[in-house]
Structure 1
Amino acid sequence: MASIPKLVILLLCTCLHTLVAHEGYDLRTYKVLHAGSLKSAAVNCSQPKVTPSSGGVTVPLHHRHGPCSPSPVPSTKAPTLEEMLRRDQLRAAYIRRNQSESGSLLEDQTDGLMGLGGGAQSLATQTAGTFGKAFSYCLPPTPDSSGFLTLGAATSGFSKTQMLRSSQVPSYYGVLLEAIRVGGRQLNIPASVFSGRSIMDSGTIITRLPATAYSALSSAFKAGMKQYPPAQPMGIFDTCFDFSGQSTINIPSVALVFSGEVVVDLATDGIILDSCLAFAANSDDSSLGIIGNVQQRTIEVLYDVGGGAVGFKAGAC
């Protein structure tokens, strides 16, 4: 596998804390995390082992404001969670309208964006003749950890669901979300709720679900967290908890089920963000769903454009 060690891609996604799962609990039902890690800020750069699929060219991914960044900007402070969620709302609205809002997504003095969509101008499309029509990435869970991007990724060893494409909007890679599981149990959500497609988007922070699906998820998650007092909503988050005085926290597992019976168990980093359930609701059930980057953390996500599939491999970074 070829590599380019000097080329580093800086992530814009939010990575604010570490959630650590421990042995002794059935990971299909509950996961355990350290409460202190919800607020701690990383100060040292660690280089955890990453396991990209063989083949192609792989480059490392680091958080822009983390200690692993090779080109930190001292005068640029990391945005607060509230600010990132505000920008995330702008991006989600932009995607739904599918029209440009010049500057609205780049107001933090970002140098630029690297496109990996299916449009003619994206890096993935322009390099397909050299590396092939498949790429993958793994988004690191914390500012002090590393992920990777692979162009020309191997396509074996993944749990794959069908990739849905639209000739009207070729930039987006669609998937069909069919169910949600909480604590190992599938929620009673009518199939019609998921009749509209969702897209995979590494630039959106928080996953947007159909309103009915989110309501069921929130209710089930609250039921599994009833030992913790509720906390005030924060921005787009309305399912938050007070973990004061807690050293460890038990949280129900959450899994997304895609077409083809592909079950993606989310890492703890993809379930809780700053003491809140890290999902948001669309205004209705017909709006486009978005699978955001928080839910993709630690998972190698494969875009097999040539094969028409999106793949998932857990614990890759």
Structure 2
Amino acid sequence: MGSRRSLLFFIFFFFFASHSFVTSRILPEISVTTSSILDVAESIRKTKDASSFQLNQQEDQTHSPSSSSSFSLQLHSRASVRGAEHPDYKSLTLARLELSYGDGSYTVGDFATETLTIGSASVENVAVGCGHSNEGLFVGAAGLLGLGGGLLALPSQLNTTSFSYCLVDRDSDSVSTVEFGSDISRDAVVAPLLRNHQLDTFYYLGLTGISVGGEMLQIPMSSYEMDESGSGGIIIDSGTAVTRLQTEIYNSLRDAFVKGTTDLERAAGVAMFDTCYNLSAKTTIEVPTVAFHFPGGKMLALPAKNYMIPVDSVGTFCLAFAPTASSMAIIGNVQQQGTRVAFDLANALIGFSSNKC
């Protein structure tokens, strides 16, 4: 990907990038409540056609401060938040922007304010980062949109208490969308949205369990919960590709999935994935349905394409979950594709609406 010496526009702090090497579509059909049908042939064909993916991305959609009358560099990041109350408010030192991500991507630049225009509406003095040196998975992007819970995230700056986004498949001709001021759909699967005062940027899910093939994993509910110190819990993140589960939960999920796929030929693991299959001779397969469970008996069943993904062009598919040594688990964007995820911050709720992109 390399390093790019250009101005890249960032709006803080929780990011929308899809950090995954998978660029293929899988077209599943849900057959019964405990299993899903996967169209393998279509997935393999799409993977073979994906070599031009990087070439089709628009590059260098960079922001030009000199062409903007509303662009303003800020003197001190903490001063910018607290204003004249901060002792360094009159400092002549420009606020430095340095952000790094778990996949090794990073950006270095300046803290600034700019007028943000969405449709016919404009908002002045929106805090942004203007990156001069950017390395990693930023190719083709004009910037990154921050939707987290921090003061500098866009929802806080827009003073909105609700928003939603829908991530389409990576090779889709459609466009992923984000809406501000949108309500949770009436047919959505609604779950508690929890916050951690130690890490106010993250959105935590009130998850009560995970099932595979209609059978709940034998994991204590406490394993999904955040403790009194703020450790543990499960966050939802549009900037992480693959869902990472605590080792105990992941091992239980993997073992249950393997038990339900004994008729499929196993393949060697690939990168972070240790549960892979050789499906080169298959056209369709039936796999156990993976579902997330929430309070009140509510359940979000994932389509097969959101957890069985192709990793090459010759028919190797892997279970798209991975273990983490961290006490905190992450629901990533592969598992969110094709689902509108709506945040009701005022009522501390999150809603999932399938096929609402």
> Displacement, 1:153?
0.6
Q: Distance in 1 between matches of 2:289 and 2:281?
A: 22
User: Is structure 2 residue 167 aligned with structure 1 residue 139?
Assistant: yes
Q: Distance in 1 between matches of 2:272 and 2:167?
A: 22
User: Is structure 2 residue 294 aligned with structure 1 residue 258?
Assistant: yes
User: Is structure 2 residue 217 aligned with structure 1 residue 187?
Assistant: yes
Q: Is the 8 A contact 1:136 1:150 kept in 2?
A: yes
Aligned match of 2:18: 12
Structure 2: unaligned runs, 5 residues or longer: 1-14, 61-100, 106-132, 226-231, 311-316
* Most deviating of 258-267 and 224-233: 258-267
Aligned match of 1:150: 179
User: Is structure 2 residue 155 aligned with structure 1 residue 124?
Assistant: yes
The aligned length equals: 259
Q: Is the 8 A contact 2:59 2:140 kept in 1?
A: no
> Displacement, 1:252?
1.1
Name which of 253, 276, 281 aligns with 1:245.
Answer: 281
Q: Is the 8 A contact 1:254 1:265 kept in 2?
A: yes
> Displacement, 1:188?
1.5
Cα 1:243–1:210 shift into 2, 3 Å: same
Q: Is the 8 A contact 1:162 1:260 kept in 2?
A: no
> Displacement, 1:235?
0.7
Amino acid in structure 2 at the alignment position of 1:29: T
Name which of 205, 209, 220 aligns with 1:175.
Answer: 205
Trace 1:1-317 onto structure 2 (pairs within 5 A): 12-14=18-20, 16-22=23-29, 25-26=31-32, 28-41=33-46, 65=53, 72-73=58-59, 89-90=103-104, 106=137, 108=139, 110-128=141-159, 132-146=160-174, 147-157=176-186, 158-195=188-225, 196-274=232-310, 275-283=317-325, 287-317=327-357
> Displacement, 1:145?
3.8
Q: Is the 8 A contact 1:134 1:153 kept in 2?
A: yes
Q: Is the 8 A contact 2:244 2:332 kept in 1?
A: yes
Cα 1:113–1:212 shift into 2, 3 Å: same
> Displacement, 1:39?
2.7
> Displacement, 1:170?
1.5
> Displacement, 1:161?
1.3
Cα 1:216–1:42 shift into 2, 3 Å: closer
Q: Is the 8 A contact 2:341 2:353 kept in 1?
A: yes
Structure 1: unaligned runs, 5 residues or longer: 1-8, 45-64, 75-86, 92-101
Structure 2 length as normaliser, TM-score? 0.65
Q: Distance in 2 between matches of 1:168 and 1:156?
A: 30
Q: Distance in 2 between matches of 1:211 and 1:104?
A: 30
Q: Distance in 2 between matches of 1:143 and 1:270?
A: 14
> Displacement, 1:139?
0.7
Q: Is the 8 A contact 1:267 1:298 kept in 2?
A: no
SS in 2 for 1:17: coil
* Most deviating of 151-160 and 235-244: 151-160
> Displacement, 1:227?
0.9
> Displacement, 1:291?
0.6
SS in 2 for 1:32: strand
> Displacement, 1:260?
4.0
Q: Distance in 1 between matches of 2:352 and 2:27?
A: 21
CA deviation vs aligned residue, 1:4-31 (integer Å, no higher than 9, x gap): xxxxx995354522222237x31x1111
Cα 1:239–1:42 shift into 2, 3 Å: closer
SS in 2 for 1:293: coil
SS in 1 for 2:292: strand
Mark the structure with the bigger radius of gyration.
Answer: 2
SS in 2 for 1:121: coil
Q: Is the 8 A contact 1:206 1:280 kept in 2?
A: yes
SS in 2 for 1:209: strand
Q: Distance in 2 between matches of 1:219 and 1:282?
A: 16
